[in-house]
Amino acid sequence: MRDKLFSGHLKQLIAKFTDRSAVIGIIGLGYVGLPLTLRYADVGFRVLGIDIDAAKVDKLNAGASYIEHIGAAQIARARAHGFEATTDFARVGEADALIICVPTPLNAYREPDLSFVLGTTDALLPYMREGQLVSLESTTYPGTTEEELRPRLESRGFTVGDNVFLVFSPEREDPGNQRFETRTIPKVCGGSTPACLQAGLALYGPAIDRVVPVSSTRAAELTKLLENIHRAVNIGLVNEMKIIADKMDIDIHEVIRAAATKPFGFTAYYPGPGLGGHCIPIDPFYLTWKARQYGLHTRFIELAGEINSDMPHWVIGKLADALNERSLSIKGSRVLVLGIAYKQDVEDMRESPSVELMEILRDKGAAVDYSDPHVPTFPPMREHQFDLASVELTAASIASYDVVLLATSHKAFDYHLIQQHARLIVDTRGVYLERLPNVVKA
Q: Tell me how far apart the alpha carbons of residues 55 and 69 are, in angstroms, rounded to a whole number.
A: 19
The DSSP secondary-structure symbol of 334 reads E
> What fold characterizes domain 231-441?
Rossmann fold (3.40.50)
**H/E run at residue 42:** helix 33-42
Confidence at residue 7, expressed as pLDDT on a 0 to 100 scale: 64
Question: So where are the chain's domains?
Answer: 2-215, 231-441
Average pLDDT, stretch 126-141?
97
Candidate from 73-87, 132-146, 266-280 with smallest mean pLDDT: 266-280
DSSP H or E run through 369: strand 367-371
Helix and strand numbers, DSSP H then E, in the chain: 16, 13
Confidence of residue 6 (pLDDT cuts 50, 70, 90): low
Query: What pLDDT does 3 receive?
Result: 41
- Interacting residues of 55 by C-beta distance below 8 A, sequence separation 6+: none
| Fold classified for 2-215 | Rossmann fold (3.40.50)
Active-site residue numbers? 279
Residue 33: how many CB atoms within 10 A of its CB?
A: 23
**How far, in Å, CA of 166 to CA of 168, rounded?**
7
**What value does the mean pLDDT of the chain take?**
95
Mean pLDDT along residues 344-372: 96
Residue 2 has what pLDDT?
Answer: 46
pLDDT tens readout for residues 99-108: 999 999 988 8
Confirm if 431 and 410 have CB atoms less than 8 A apart.
no
pTM score over 0.85: yes
Nearest to 6 by CA among 14, 213, 18: 14
Residue 166 predicted with pLDDT over 70? yes
Arithmetic mean of pLDDT, 237-265: 96
Residue-wise pLDDT tens digits, 395-418 = 999 999 999 999 999 999 999 999
pLDDT at 178: 81
Query: What pLDDT does residue 382 have?
Result: 74
Hey, is 46 helix, strand or coil?
A: strand
- Give the total residue count for the chain: 442
